[in-house]
């Protein structure tokens, strides 16, 4: 169809007028080099009861990326890797990362190598075309003193080498203890970052968990530029009676400067995967919460 010059000018004027009355938040420029996803632990009960139905609802909300928190006996939420990949693909979803704790059963201390259990973990993650294999905890026995921590950070580096061979990268996800616990006068988190190779081990910074351990996301990102390829995007509100005095809530409603952290993490921290996680819901349903969180992220341009 061809337009006359007059029709073109009229059409452009109408478009401009329409844009002028839209909320500025809806006109935010998308950050095309980042992805926004959801950690499925946010809807853990729903995934346990009905994984297929829950994933369908997640896709209908507009999510295109998910992160798993359930890998047991070489299955994701009860499905073999190839089967789960097809389920995701049919729904227009991808799973660029997932959580599996790297622990004692995965490292053979006698042989100084990984057990088949961890090798299968990496193999199955690759079958899902993950970019990151992320361990979301650190066993107590691996952090009892500086020499022990340094040794097991060497194991982290070796996991990074194993993941690299499969076209992926190993990562670590923090909670709060990494900031509240000290070894030889420095935080455990400093010990983790200073004893892991950035080329082999990335950090998935949970910007909410760290808060009640005394960590502040902006400070950490600036201290270790380029180390945070992935974020857990989370906000926290003060809650009497909760374990740590805070619980996660809708983005923008709490004490975390989420939007400012996102900007700094992308600019300085190297963040490209922005993974929404909400674990407490203040009377709303988990599905309603992650839907609202996604809408807020879109308003912010992500």
pLDDT tens string 5-41 = 444 334 444 344 444 444 443 445 555 589 999 999 9
User: What value does the mean pLDDT take over residues 176-204?
Assistant: 98
pLDDT digit string (tens) for 219-235? 999 999 999 999 999 99
Does the pLDDT at position 51 exceed 90? yes
In a domain, 7, yes or no: no
**Residue 168, pLDDT score:** 98
pLDDT at 262: 98
Within-domain flag for 225: yes
Is position 23 within any domain? no
CATH number where 284 lies: 3.20.20.150
- The per-residue pLDDT for 179 is 98
pLDDT at 9: 39
Confidence (pLDDT) at 29: 52
Residue 24 lies in a domain: no
Residue 233 belongs to what domain range? 30-299
The total of structural domains in the chain comes to 1
Q: Answer yes or no: is 25 within a domain.
A: no
| Residue 62 predicted with pLDDT over 70 | yes
- Give pLDDT, residue 27: 41
Mean per-residue pLDDT, 61-75? 98
What's residue 5's pLDDT?
A: 40
**Residue range 178-189: mean pLDDT, rounded:** 97
pLDDT, tens digit (0-9, with 9 covering 90-100), for 91-126: 999 999 999 999 999 999 999 999 999 999 999 999
In a domain, 9, yes or no: no
Supply the pLDDT for residue 32.
57
pLDDT digits (tens, 9 = 90+) for 251-265: 999 999 999 999 999
Residue-by-residue DSSP string for the chain:
----HHHHHHHHHHHHHHHHTS-GGGGPPP-TT-EEEEEGGGGHHHHHH-HHHHHHHHHHHT--EEEE--EETTEETTB-HHHHHHHHHHTT-EEEEEE----GGGEETTTTEE-HHHHHHHHHHHHTT-SEEEE----GGGSSSHHHHHHHHHHHHHHHHHHHHTT-EEEEE--SHHHH-EETTEEHHHHHHHTS-TTTEEEEEETTGGGGGT--HHHHHHHSTT--SEEEE-EEEE-TTSSSSEEEESTTSSSS-HHHHHHHIIIII---EEEE-----TTS-HHHHHHHHHHHHHHTT-
Residue 4 covered by a domain: no
More confident residue, 216 or 18: 216
Domain contains 202: yes
Q: What is the mean pLDDT of the chain?
A: 92
């Amino acid at each position: 169809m061809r337009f006359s010059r007059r029709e073109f000018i009229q059409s452009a004027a109408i478009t401009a007028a329409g844009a002028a009355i839209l909320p500025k938040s809806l006109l935010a420029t998308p950050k095309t080099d980042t992805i926004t996803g959801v950690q499925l632990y946010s809807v853990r009960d729903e995934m346990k009861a009905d994984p297929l139905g829950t994933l369908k609802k997640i896709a209908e909300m507009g999510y295109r990326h998910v992160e798993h928190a359930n890998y047991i006996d070489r299955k994701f939420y009860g499905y073999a890797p190839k089967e789960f990949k097809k389920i995701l693909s049919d729904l227009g979803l991808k799973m660029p990362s997932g959580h599996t704790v790297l622990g004692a059963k995965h490292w053979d201390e006698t042989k100084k190598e990984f057990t088949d259990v961890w090798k299968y973990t990496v193999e199955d993650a690759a079958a899902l075309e993950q970019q990151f294999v992320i361990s979301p905890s650190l066993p107590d026995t691996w952090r009892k003193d500086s020499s022990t921590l340094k040794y097991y950070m060497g194991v982290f580096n070796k996991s990074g080498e194993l993941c690299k061979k499969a076209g992926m990268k190993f990562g670590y996800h923090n909670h709060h203890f990494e900031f509240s616990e000290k070894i030889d006068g420095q935080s455990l988190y400093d010990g983790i970052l200073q004893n892991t190779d950035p080329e082999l081990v990335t950090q998935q910074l949970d910007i909410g968990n760290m808060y009640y351990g005394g960590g502040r996301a902006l400070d950490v990102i600036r201290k270790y530029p380029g180390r945070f390829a992935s974020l857990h995007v989370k906000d926290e509100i003060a809650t009497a009676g909760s374990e740590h005095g805070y619980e996660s809530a809708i983005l923008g409603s709490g004490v975390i400067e989420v939007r400012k952290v996102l900007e700094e993490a992308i600019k300085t921290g190297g963040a490209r995967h922005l993974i929404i996680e909400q674990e407490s819901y203040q009377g709303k349903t988990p599905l309603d919460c992650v839907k609202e969180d996604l809408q807020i992220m879109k308003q912010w341009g992500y």
